Structure 1
């Protein structure tokens, strides 16, 4: 089961044993709830309390008598819900659902949303007619239930709020009984019907918005039965009918508290319901004597059992009652009803009667010896039935030993093959699943031939230091992949293609990998397995001039020539956007880089003024000339923009004018790598590298400040070592030993230095709330640095998780972060990435979708290239060609059907894909039978050939340039469930209508 880890600071408690106390447990649960609320998530209170208790128990089993520092609470992923609105596609209606009336009111309702645990009377009203209760509710009251019905989780719906309101009205106002089980079924069925009707009306739009237009929803309940008032008993007013199995209701009002008890008998079980007043009374003595006072509830149950003449196991009921009450301790401050069910045992006279009826005359039965003579000897199985290989037959002990030894030998041989040829666990498991699926292994020679046939589909041009395809071919392939996720892609007039360019070091080779994806296809097209490879180049070093010499002129010209793509009869405009980190943008645009006086890629702000934002603009006084010619000028230094040229935004025209004067003017070093292919406005910052670099800067500044102790010699070293010990302990608690700190000498000074790689997810774990700011930095700076980190986390959360753009919100967070950073005491200057946050990030968010330019998939693709290169058994003659071919084969294998793979290759070459004629012809059952029979016959006929080729396979290996599979967690080599399934639609619903022959 997948879980979410939440780290809670418990260092304020003296020992681990204290964490078991109810008061402390409630405080820990509250911290977990607050952390979830910050992340716009929520979970049931009972689930949080249970997870916290499990975490405390686990900590106690590992460490006893030790002062706690932090507590790791693990919540199952399926119980966590997002607080954001959910919109799901419409599905087919269910004709079996009952019709439920939905009332409408012209008056608009303005009220706050209700949580599942709190309800307000103004949002629900009741009426009773002919033993049928009608509840009129508002949208706000049912919002959580609608949201649950629209979510993709499989958890049961929490009906506590509405059940409590219905029961309270039925018990107190109507003095009626309530069938709780039937009531929950009625609520769930009617809410599902309301949501289903709204889905049909929504037609792909937001279902929540359709439901929001309805002001009143009417729910009908038939699980309410009227009761007659009887004489009081045990201080309770009693209600019951004359029927034998009529439920009993007990109500007692005393000191502004109302105790409610319902005894609802069925044929085989009894349903008992009590309210929070009786639960609170039972718990009143628990904190003092650690025992529950359930005598009153037990007496009520005993009286009802005697009245109905039922055989109920009262000790078992008492244990169930105590367990339920203890589990509900956390909800003492709220009102609720507690329901439990107890089985009813059959009476002895009924059991005897059944035994008499089932008595069989065994005078003609056979003994065991006679049965064995007739049907053979039988053996009793104990526990799980054993397989044939493991079944011990006592009469053949030698054969059992031989069989067991043979199994062990086969397993050892298989382990030897796995270790000798470096088969990973995932690769071995994939092969095992392949064999389990009743498929046949073929020889290596056949695999090599298939690989050659597949490679022949890809028109790859290559040299010793390069390998690439035509840009139009790659664009068509990207469109084909994007069509799988955006069905209306053929209706757009312009497609945006992201041009991903990134360098990576593979062994001793510096490789520049270029890939593309269609932005309109969505985030799925950014995954490493869905990126379309365009080119691989080997260079000596990454810079503009070497890239200009390495990239073939025809390759650059080919990219520039593609302005439109013909798809069937339609001509679609292509707009190429640049993707990559800031360093790659420096190379592509021909800039001087971060060490120049104008380090920003998007504007020409001087490095001394990078910290300027809207809030810190000022007038700067400058002087020109000397002596009598000296002049004083006032220049306004204000915020910059990435698109507004009046606010110093960069442009190709400005670059051309500056290069005509002198080099490095305003940071322009040379002409852009691709000429006028990319404007500066075609590039957007990558939020992945922005996060990595800024966290790196914060950590570097923290270590730099912590290394300044104001002491010298051994005293300075002792302080440094103590801080390093604190930091290393924090690393072990959060991310393990992969990242650590130690003392290093910098210019004869002892400083704190970090070692290891702190990647993105490790940064989130490292900079948690219990990071030892105070112990490392001191009181004043620690508070401001903590504020900087939390502000940056809030900004990242807004960029990553908030799908609804709130006007001005990201801008406010950006300006606050830059202000907090400069006031933190770590440094007064800012880096280019922090300058981008203060001036450009909110502009990107306004005019673009920042998620479209995230480079996480590209970085994973670089790791994939390394795996391909190092997993080859033999050194390839043309490694770049081999890697590009394998990338295309893996991309092609995303399509499960062979027809789809052939269609992708055909469309990429020609732009013609006739889905209607080529793929939409239905196959008859007879044809399918012949197809499978042919495969069966072919397998039988090829057995001899398989044995022969298998014997020759060892000789073939020496002649074949082998490529081994990749060790990936999400391997697409044999995972049909992860591929694109092909569901051929009827002609009228074909989703590729524009891809037809003219």
Structure 2
């Protein structure tokens, strides 16, 4: 071959017509030219001749955005500014392997960013063996107790973990008492694996620390179904016994633990040994012995003289052949949990009442005879509720679809009910 057109390389190189050029000359034959010439003129061959150059999209003008739980940062960030050219990035074997590993194992950008921050502060990342050894040492100080159907922590150890995660608990504690909110509820993991979950949080931590990410797991028990017999089967007696009032010691400090139970209605009936809404039971309220809504206002969830439930009354009734007032069993935590320690489940009260009111509103606004009328029917409902929200100037919300939240009617006095305050205001009629 002619030397003025070709040079000899250590390896054979192939010059390929760039894709965009091929598209513009689609009717001409496409040939590959082999370059195998020798000589000092090898330096004359540019990278563009050996490797077709594709221009990457200019990202320098992109704006940092945040949506959902994803954060995108442009390439001008200081943490990414290593002054590498595009060609240097494309031929950096280390970067390519890290990117490949990151994508294959679904490692998020946020995880890499946090590791970079730790490396800047403390140097190179420790080995997995070191991290596992440290975790094993820490786990020795958190004794997990195993049973036939699950595992749990001693409540004292769990409270110490809670205080360690939020030191403000000690500062906010009054009269050397820490108020612990104990939650129990059933959940399903996967298709059909049911668990009874128990967690604790601290009232002194404030409202911002009551979310799911700030609670301490206390126990986890696998059961078949959420009912009283299954709860009794999977939860050991040791778990029940540790719930009575006790002291927790931290160095020279001693605090008394005051437990409150946060339960939904179904779990509350089961834990407290009540019939609930089953059968012919008329005393459905878990806090008082009222038999129907006509008696609302005459009863109290706190004053036993006004029908508030008590443990003494319950043990007296279950000793009879036919217990009254909706009692069925002894309380699950026996006499370690009193009715006054139950937190009113205002969330589910609002949801269920809202469901009933919404169903009534939808049925009264218009009637549909066919499925085809459903769209217009919902539009009529939306129009009515939006106008009612404006007229009443309230913030009570209902969800009709995934995209619409409607404000309707007047807010119900749940806060006054929970605080045992009188509510004498005459309700508005519409």
TM-score, length-scaled by structure 1: 0.30
Aligned to 2:184: 501
Following superposition, the deviation at residue 567 of structure 1 comes to: 5.0
1:513 aligns to what? Answer: 197
The residue aligned with 1:593 is 276
- The answer to whether the Cα contact below 8 Å between 2:89 and 2:95 also exists between their aligned partners in 1 is no
Matched residues in 2 for 1:528 and 1:534: separation? 13
1:388-423 residue CA offsets vs partner (Å, 9 max, x unmatched): 423xxxxxxxxx84x25315x766544432332122
> Does the 8 A contact of 2:148 with 2:234 survive in 1?
no
CA distance in 2 between partners of 1:567 and 1:437 (Å): 31
Residue pairs, 1:890-969, within 5 angstroms: none
Describe the superposition over 1:164-206 as per-residue Cα deviations: whole angstroms up to 9, x where unpaired.
xxxxxxxxxxxxxxxxxxxxxxxxxxxxxxxxxxxxxxxxxxx
Indicate the residue corresponding to 1:610 in structure 2. Answer: 293
User: Structure 2: which 5+ residue stretches go unaligned?
Assistant: 1-80, 385-396
Structure 2 residue aligned with 1:548:
232
CA deviation string 1:239-280 (max 9, x = no partner): xxxxxxxxxxxxxxxxxxxxxxxxxxxxxxxxxxxxxxxxxx
**Is this contact kept in 1: 2:178–2:202, CA < 8 A?**
yes
Distance 1:477 1:445 in 2: 25
Check 1:682–1:442 CA distance in 2 against 1; reply closer, same or farther (3 A cut).
Answer: same
8 Å contact kept, 2:382–2:406: no
What corresponds to 2:409 in structure 1? 790
Report the counterpart of residue 427 of structure 1 in structure 2: 111
User: Is 1:662 the counterpart of 2:321 in the alignment?
Assistant: yes
The structure with the larger Rg is 1
Q: Please give the alpha-carbon distance, in whole angstroms, between the structure 2 residues aligned to 1:574 and 1:554.
A: 17
Query: What does residue 406 of structure 1 align with?
Result: 91
The question of 1:723 aligning with 2:377 is answered yes
1:504 CA drift (Å): 1.3
Distance 1:523 1:613 in 2: 30
- CA separation of 1:588 and 1:483: change in aligned 2, threshold 3 A: same
- Alpha-carbon distance between aligned partners in 2 of 1:471 and 1:601, rounded to the nearest angstrom: 26
- Structure possessing the higher relative contact order (Cα contacts under 8 Å, 6 or more residues apart): 1
- Which residue does the alignment assign to 1:389? 84
Shift of 1:550: 1.1
- Mapped partners of 1:702, 1:555: distance in 2: 46
- The counterpart of 2:336, out of the listed 677, 701, 707, is 677
Are the counterparts in 2 of residues 481 and 525 from structure 1 also a CA contact under 8 Å?
Answer: no
Distance 1:760 1:687 in 2: 16
Shift of 1:505: 0.9
Alignment of 1:856-871 (within 5 A): none
Q: 1:588 to 1:505 in 2, by over 3 A?
A: same
**Could you tell me whether the CA contact under 8 Å between 2:287 and 2:339 is conserved in 1?**
yes
Give 1:653's aligned residue.
312
Separation in 1 of the partners of 2:355 and 2:96?
A: 48
Give the deviation of 1:459 after TM superposition. Answer: 0.8
Trace 1:667-746 onto structure 2 (pairs within 5 A): 667-705=326-364, 708-709=367-368, 716-724=370-378
Aligned to 1:499, the other structure's residue is in SS state strand
Deviation at 1:540, TM superposition (A): 1.0
Q: CA deviation at 1:691?
A: 3.3
Q: Contact 1:502 / 1:584 at 8 angstroms: preserved in 2? A: yes
Matches for 1:225-304 after TM superposition, within 5 Å:
none
Aligned partner of 1:457 among 109, 118, 141: 141
Matched residue SS, 1:575: strand
Q: Is the 8 A contact 1:578 1:683 kept in 2?
A: yes
Residues 194 and 223 of structure 2 are in contact (CA less than 8 Å); yes or no, is this contact kept in structure 1? yes
**Does residue 766 of structure 1 match 2:420?**
no
Distance 2:348 2:107 in 1: 34
Q: CA deviation at 1:600?
A: 0.8
| Secondary structure in 1 matching 2:336 | coil
Q: Which residue of 1 aligns with 2:211?
A: 527
What is the CA distance between 1:704 and its match in structure 2?
Answer: 4.3
2 CA distance for matches of 1:511 and 1:463? Answer: 14
Instruction: Please state whether the residue corresponding to 2:229 is helix, strand or coil.
Output: helix
Q: Residues 12-161 of structure 1: matches in 2 within 5 Å? A: none
Paired position in structure 2 for 1:581: 264
Change (3 A) 1:483 1:703: same
Deviation track 1:266-315 (CA, whole Å, cap 9, x = no partner) reads xxxxxxxxxxxxxxxxxxxxxxxxxxxxxxxxxxxxxxxxxxxxxxxxxx
Shift of 1:688: 3.2
8 Å contact kept, 1:496–1:574: yes
Deviation at 1:705, TM superposition (A): 4.2
Measured at CA, do residues 512 and 721 of structure 1 come closer, stay the same or move farther in structure 2, by a change above 3 Å? Answer: same
Distance 1:413 1:706, change over 3 A: farther
Q: Which has the higher helix share?
A: 1
Q: 1:92-115 CA distances to partner (integer Å, 9 max, x unpaired)? A: xxxxxxxxxxxxxxxxxxxxxxxx
Shift in Å at residue 570 of structure 1? 6.0
Cα distance change, pair 551–416 in 1 and its aligned pair in 2 (3 A) = same
- Does the 8 A contact of 1:589 with 1:673 survive in 2? yes
8 Å Cα contact 2:264-2:345 kept in structure 1 = yes
In structure 2, do the counterparts of structure 1 residues 584 and 795 end up closer, same or farther at CA, with 3 Å as the change threshold? same
Deviation at 1:762, TM superposition (A): 9.2
What residue number does 2:151 align with? 467
- State the Cα distance separating 1:538 from its structure 2 match: 1.0
Instruction: Check whether the contact 1:486–1:522 (CA below 8 A) recurs between aligned residues.
Output: no
Task: Rate the CA distance shift 1:657–1:790 in 2: closer, same or farther, 3 A.
Answer: same
Whether the 8 Å contact between 1:482 and 1:518 is mirrored in structure 2 is no
Deviation at 1:761, TM superposition (A): 9.1
